[in-house]
Amino acid sequence: MHWIRYSFTEAWRSLWRQRNSAVLSVLTIGAAILVLGGFLLIGVNLDRAMARWSAAAEFSIYLRDDITPDERSAINRALTEHPSVASRVYVSREAALTRFTRDFPDLAAGVAGLLQNPLPASIEVRLNPQRSDADVVDRLARQVQASPGVSDVRFDRRWLERLARIAWAIQWAGWGLGGVLIIAAVLTVATVVRLGLHARRDEVEIMQLMGAPLGLLRGPLVVEGLIQGGLGGVLALGALLAGFAAGLRQLGPELSTIVDPSLVGFLPTALSAALVAGGMAVGGLGGLLAARHVR
């Protein structure tokens, strides 16, 4: 307990003495964590949206006008027996027209002028998110496509998978960029802590000659890094929160046309805490690198 108190007191004293360099170091860590946090925030929200869209994913089977009752029964049977299918709804040509007129009122007048209803009947299949592996559903879609009486099959999952690949690429780009910034931050902290160590070299030498344990000489240096990292992490989290709130205010109306507003949110508490802890780890590592010079 005493060791911790001593390390914190000494670390704080050293940071205060070289506060200008310490501010630079905190800002460097903050920038690295901010970039990482920004990409995490985008990734988390994309994941949320995709989870919702995946749960609602469906494929639509468009039926030929001349489909026979036997052919329709055969398709229904294939769907009922398949484990990936959670439910199915038959949409008649009339129901499709009613829905079209409701969803696209501007186009309704044009469709009303046509001699006959241009929309086909369809079966809308809702997939079971837990049991709808893409390959399995693909095979089902191909099987249904080949069935007599089917004119076309549209499968939502394909664009969701493309979106997932984009989200994955964004997240890895974030890790890559964040990683480079984190290395820079570790080196900055190590340099700042070493500068502090240099300023205190007489004191350290005297303490070594008086038999102070190595842990007592190195501890404050590691704690110095931890404090800088923690402050950088908190700063980054604050900036991220402010940026998120401002972005939401600015883009809120446009965003709500693309995605359900209830899906857009800030990072979960555990992830926010992990960001600050990550900042502390980065700082601690920098402090540890500097502490290796005390032998």
> Which positions lie near other proteins, rule CB under 8 A?
2-3, 6, 17, 202-203, 205-214, 216
The arrangement of strands across the sheet holding 122-127 comes to 85-91, 122-127, 58-63, 150-155
Minimal distance in Å, beta carbon 199 to other proteins? 9
- Smallest gap, in angstroms, from Cβ of residue 204 to other proteins? 10
Task: Characterize 69-89 residue by residue with b for buried, 16 or more Cβ atoms within 10 angstroms of its Cβ, and e for exposed.
Answer: eebbeebeeebeebebbeebe
Place of tokens 């069935």: 147
Determine which helix (DSSP H) or strand (DSSP E) holds 131, and give its type and residue range: none
Give the integer Cα–Cα distance in Å for 227 and 93.
67
What lies within 8 Å, CB to CB, of 182 at 6+ separation is 32, 36, 282
If the CB atoms of residues 180 and 212 are measured against other proteins, the closer one turns out to be 212
Hey, what are 210's tokens? 């008086």
Residue 294 CB, shortest distance to other proteins, in Å, is 12
Between 57 and 222, name the residue whose CB sits nearer to other proteins: 222
Of 6 and 266, nearer to other proteins (C-beta) is: 6
Q: Which is nearer to other proteins, 44 or 216 (CB)?
A: 216
Beta-carbon count within 10 A of 160 CB: 17
Instruction: Report in angstroms how near the CB of residue 193 gets to other proteins at its nearest.
Output: 18
CB atoms within 10 A of CB 109: 9
Decide whether 213 or 268 has the Cβ nearer to other proteins: 213
For other proteins, the closer of residues 70 and 202 by Cβ is 202
CB-CB contact of 261 with 269 (8 Å):
no
Q: What is the signed CA dihedral for 198, 202, 208, 212, rounded to 10 degrees?
A: -90
Smallest separation, CB 243 to other proteins (Å)? 40
Contact in structure between 122 and 75 (CB atoms under 8 Å): no
Q: Least separation, in Å, of the C-beta of 45 and other proteins?
A: 49
In the complex with other proteins, the residue whose CB is nearer, 51 or 206, is 206
CB of 195 to other proteins, least distance (A): 15
